[in-house]
């Protein structure tokens, strides 16, 4: 089919003639040389625009667009011919793409990343197939493919959510037997959903006793079971050594299990991989007493310089006029507290500097920084001379190696436990790892209600504002606690949610025992009240009943000999003592809370709002005693049955009064 350019356009038209063939369109230029445009190079069927006498044929192709005047007798027949030939050469690619899409959506959760990838892949097909009216006859399969393309590109957020829900329901049915047997007890519906959902960024909000460790283990096993990831490509990260050991112990019961480690061990592995040997960890980093002694001796050394001595005595508010008096001050109780503060500030100062977050501190604490920066410089010099690093260096160095791509992650899936305890530098390391590839997935389990380690750098905002830092993702919740009954759940939940900044959760208790959650005991003092509580429990509880005696401070707990005496006196009970912080993750049949008075040494602890150390730590929000409230919530949720609250005769804690009301 050959079309000669009308004579009137002989000197203005780009081509002398156009030929329509099965394999493409042949264009004859002014030199008589033919140019072949294959149908695969043409973006959509050539368009015929009818003018008064002549028509213009517009062809959009991979190298641009051309418009050629031609004379056509039967416009409809010509248009159908063009469409048929174009469709013949393009339909296979579309149908294969749609088939691949449908298979992918059947096997993979429609995550944010997958949705973005699919939309990017389909945009060229939308331009080709959805921007013109199909008038030629096409197959039923092609009609369905075009309809699927159109439907998918028009999905709203509610359509996506509906599709995701149907996928989750399908996978829950398909893998029901797996979820029934992967752990000792069948997983709950919420636990199963957390395993099936596979967004690139996923946060699972837990609660006390909701079985978060079971989900961590089940998630890793589900990834391997469904062949979404090999065990060697999964990394499980824990906050501390004890939690990591528990995960290893639980995970090692399965035929294949992933790597489990702490962030420090991860840092060690990254550095060793890049440098070829494990770094030396400074003795000061591993021994707090030695580090504090180093700080003291460094201060005395620096104080030999008159200007520093003036700066230090002003900051420390001590009246030392010579080195001996400054030494005496540092070896006293007040100086000892200052040494503890400075020693702690060194690590946070180093991290704040690395995170470029010192500006808010420098204005208000210039005197303190004037004293502490030289100490940090001496500390860094000591580490350099020792050819060693501390734990902060370990993470910071790892971040550098990952960002520079000197370390390429062998893991594609990162599962993080106790996510509410993550610090800014650990979050930065995690983000550096997961952004190395679009195929990397992050799954975090955390409970903002139990975020109690701000003093060591934990930043709750990474949990409460998860997607703002890590990117688009999915946040779900565990909804059943297996530890305690509904009444204790209601009391503790009301208490923690008095702070509106805490994430609201709908949790129900597996147990519905009709028992008073709180028992108030009031004696002449805490020791007498403790005996009263233990006597009551010894009389009513079964043999071997566990009881945790808890206090905000270690000094308020019975010492080892006293506990031994109490154990002999109340032999039906199994007694243990812990601080509120130490009790996190533990449970007992009953708990007894001591030291519930207000003020110094009581609950809530008095916070050092105007101190440098406090300023170096992550912001804690505006609600009064937010972290102390979370800590008290942790203490309230250790018991399976009842919490005994030792009520002082005078000056009771505001938390105690709040519960009493």
User: Pairing between strand 441-446 and 201-205?
Assistant: parallel
pLDDT digits (tens, 9 = 90+) for 280-304: 999 999 999 999 999 999 999 999 9
In a shared domain, residues 473 and 487? no
What secondary structure does DSSP assign to 266-296, as a single string?
HHHHHHHHHHSSPPPBPHHHH-HHHHHHHHH
My answer on whether 120 and 150 are in the same domain is: yes
Q: What is the full DSSP assignment across 191-232?
A: HHHHHH---SEEEEE--TTS-HHHHHHHHHHHHHHTTSS-GG
Closest CA to 546 of 528, 570, 524: 570
Assess whether 627 and 507 both reside in one domain.
yes
> Tokens in use for 415?
């599962």
- The radius of gyration of the chain's CA atoms, rounded to the nearest angstrom, is 35
The answer to whether residues 526 and 503 belong to one domain is yes
Do 26 and 120 belong to one domain?
yes
Q: Are 587 and 209 in contact (CB under 8 A)?
A: yes
Give DSSP secondary structure letters for 615-633.
Answer: HHSPP--SSTTHHHHHHHH
Domain that holds residue 196: 164-279+394-478
Number of domains in the chain: 4
259 and 437 in contact (C-beta within 8 Å)? no
In terms of domains, do 114 and 215 share one? no
Residues 171 and 68 in one domain: no
The structure tokens listed for 602 are 């009581």
Question: Which tokens go with 248?
Answer: 């290893």
Distance (Å, rounded) from C-alpha 188 to C-alpha 197?
Answer: 14
What pLDDT is recorded for position 53? 67
According to the annotation, is 92 in a ligand binding site?
no
The answer to whether 296 is annotated as binding is no
Q: Is 344 annotated as a binding residue?
A: no
Tell me, letter by letter, the H, E, C secondary structure of 450-495: HCCCHHHCCCCHHHHCHHHHHCCCEEEECCEEEEEEHHHHHHHHHH
Q: What is the mean pLDDT of each run of 10 residues along the chain (661 residues)?
A: 74 82 90 88 91 82 89 88 96 96 93 94 94 93 96 94 97 98 95 98 96 95 96 94 88 87 96 97 95 96 94 83 87 92 94 88 87 96 96 96 98 97 97 96 98 95 96 96 95 97 94 90 93 95 93 96 96 97 96 96 81 88 94 98 96 95 80
* pLDDT for the residue numbered 366: 86
Residues 267 and 295 in one domain: no
Nearest to 269 by CA among 437, 422, 416, 409: 409
CATH number of 12's domain: 2.30.29.30
Residues of the chain with pLDDT > 90: what percent? 80
Task: Please report where in the chains the tokens 């007894």 appear, as a residue.
Answer: 592
Structure tokens given for 37: 């445009």
332 is annotated as contributing to ligand binding: no
Contacts of 518 (CB under 8 A, 6+ apart): 488, 491, 642, 643, 645, 659
Q: Residue 594: helix, strand or coil by DSSP? A: strand
379 neighbors 298 (Cβ within 8 angstroms): yes
Q: Do 459 and 530 reside in the same domain of the chain? A: no
pLDDT tens-digit series, residues 247-268: 888 888 888 889 999 999 999 9
3-state secondary structure of 91: helix
Is 213 annotated to bind a ligand? Reply is: yes
Could you give the 3-state DSSP secondary structure of residue 120?
helix
Which residue is listed with tokens 């409970």?
447
Ordered strands of the 47-50 beta sheet? 47-50, 55-61, 64-70
Inter-residue contact 368 to 612 (CB < 8 Å): yes
CA atoms of 137 and 480, how far apart (whole Å):
57
Q: What CA–CA distance (Å, rounded) separates 431 from 408?
A: 13
Q: What is the model's pLDDT at position 373?
A: 95
Helices and strands: H and E segment counts in the chain: 26, 20
- By C-alpha distance, which of 104, 407, 97 is closest to 228? 104
Could you tell me the two tokens for 25? 């369109």
301 shares a domain with 224: no
Is there a single domain that holds both residue 330 and residue 251?
A: no
Which of 341, 356, 388 is where one domain is finished?
388
Together in a domain, 75 and 127: yes
**What is the distance of C-alpha 293 from the center of its chain?**
37
Which of these, 492, 458, 452, lies nearest to 583 by C-alpha position? 452
Residue 414, domain CATH: 3.40.50.300
| Boundary residue ending a domain (430, 458, 478) | 478
Is 0.85 topped by the overall pTM?
yes
Whether the Cβ atoms of residue 79 and residue 135 lie closer than 8 Å to each other = yes
Last residue of a domain, one of 340, 367, 388: 388
φ/ψ (deg, to 5) at 155: -60, 135
Q: Which residues pair with 260 in a beta bridge?
A: 236
State residue 610's pLDDT score: 63
- The answer on whether 153 is annotated among ligand-binding residues is no
Q: What pairs with residue 547 in β-bridges?
A: 575, 590
pLDDT given for residue 461 in this prediction: 96
Is 212 annotated to bind a ligand? Reply is: yes
The annotation status of 206 as a binding-site residue, yes or no, is yes
Q: How far is CA 564 from CA 90, 531, 561, 574, in A?
A: 83, 14, 5, 11
How far is it, in rounded angstroms, from Cα 627 to Cα 450? 9
């Amino acid at each position: 089919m050959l079309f000669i350019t009308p004579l009137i356009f002989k000197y203005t038209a780009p081509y002398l003639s156009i030929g329509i063939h099965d394999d493409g369109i042949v264009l004859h230029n002014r030199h008589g040389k033919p140019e072949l445009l294959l149908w695969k190079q043409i973006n959509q069927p050539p368009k015929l625009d009818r003018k008064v006498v002549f028509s213009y044929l517009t062809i959009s192709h991979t190298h641009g667009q051309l418009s050629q005047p031609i004379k056509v007798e039967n416009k409809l027949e010509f248009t159908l011919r063009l469409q048929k030939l174009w469709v013949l050469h393009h339909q296979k690619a579309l149908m294969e793409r749609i088939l691949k899409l449908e298979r992918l959506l059947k096997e993979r959760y429609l995550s944010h990343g997958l949705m973005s990838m699919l939309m990017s892949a389909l945009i060229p097909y939308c331009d080709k197939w959805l921007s013109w009216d199909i008038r030629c006859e096409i197959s039923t399969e092609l009609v369905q493919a075009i309809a699927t393309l159109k439907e998918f590109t028009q999905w709203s957020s509610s359509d996506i959510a509906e599709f995701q829900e149907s996928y989750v329901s399908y996978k829950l049915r398909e893998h029901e037997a797996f979820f029934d047997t992967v752990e000792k007890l069948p997983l709950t519906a919420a636990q199963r959903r957390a395993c099936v959902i596979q967004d690139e960024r996923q946060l699972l909000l837990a609660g006390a006793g909701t079985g978060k460790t079971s989900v961590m283990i089940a998630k890793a096993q589900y990834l391997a079971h469904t062949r979404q990831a090999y065990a060697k490509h999964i990394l499980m990260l824990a906050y501390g050594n004890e939690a990591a050991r528990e995960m290893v112990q639980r995970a090692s019961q399965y035929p294949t299990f992933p790597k489990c480690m702490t962030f420090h061990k991860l840092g060690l592995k990254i550095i060793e991989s890049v440098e070829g040997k494990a770094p030396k960890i400074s003795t000061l980093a591993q021994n707090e007493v030695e580090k504090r002694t180093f700080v003291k001796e460094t201060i005395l050394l620096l104080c030999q310089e008159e200007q520093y001595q003036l700066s230090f005595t002003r900051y420390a508010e001590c009246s030392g006029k010579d080195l001996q008096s400054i030494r005496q001050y540092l070896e006293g109780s007040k100086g000892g507290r200052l040494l503890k503060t400075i020693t702690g500030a060194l690590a946070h100062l180093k991290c704040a500097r690395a995170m470029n977050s010192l500006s808010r501190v420098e204005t208000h604490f210039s005197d303190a920084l004037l004293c502490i920066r030289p100490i940090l410089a001496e500390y860094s010099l000591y580490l350099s001379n020792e050819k060693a690093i501390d734990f902060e260096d370990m993470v910071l160095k790892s971040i550098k190696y990952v960002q520079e791509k000197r370390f390429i992650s062998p893991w594609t899936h990162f599962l993080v436990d106790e996510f509410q305890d993550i610090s800014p530098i650990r979050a930065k390391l995690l983000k550096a790892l997961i952004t190395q590839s679009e195929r990397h997935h992050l799954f975090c389990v955390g409970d903002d209600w139990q975020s109690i380690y701000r003093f060591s750098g934990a930043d709750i905002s990474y949990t409460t504002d998860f997607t703002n830092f890590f990117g688009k993702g999915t946040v779900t919740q565990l909804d059943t606690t297996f530890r305690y009954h509904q009444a204790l759940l209601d009391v503790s939940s009301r208490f923690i949610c008095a702070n509106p900044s805490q994430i609201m959760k709908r949790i129900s208790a597996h147990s519905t025992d009709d028992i008073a959650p709180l028992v108030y005991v009031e004696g002449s003092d805490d020791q007498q009240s403790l005996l009263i509580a233990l006597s009551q429990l010894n009389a009513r509880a079964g043999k071997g009943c566990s009881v945790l005696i808890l206090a905000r401070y270690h000094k308020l707990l019975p010492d080892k000999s006293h506990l031994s005496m109490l154990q002999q006196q109340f032999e039906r009970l199994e007694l243990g003592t812990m601080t509120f912080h130490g009790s996190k993750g533990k449970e007992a049949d009953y708990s007894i809370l001591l030291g519930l008075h207000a003020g110094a040494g009581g609950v809530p602890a008095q916070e050092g709002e105007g101190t440098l150390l406090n300023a170096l730590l992550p912001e804690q929000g505006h609600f009064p005693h937010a972290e102390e409230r979370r800590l008290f919530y942790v203490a309230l949720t250790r018991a399976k049955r009842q919490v005994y609250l030792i009520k002082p005769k005078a000056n009771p804690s505001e938390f105690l009064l709040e519960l009493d009301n």
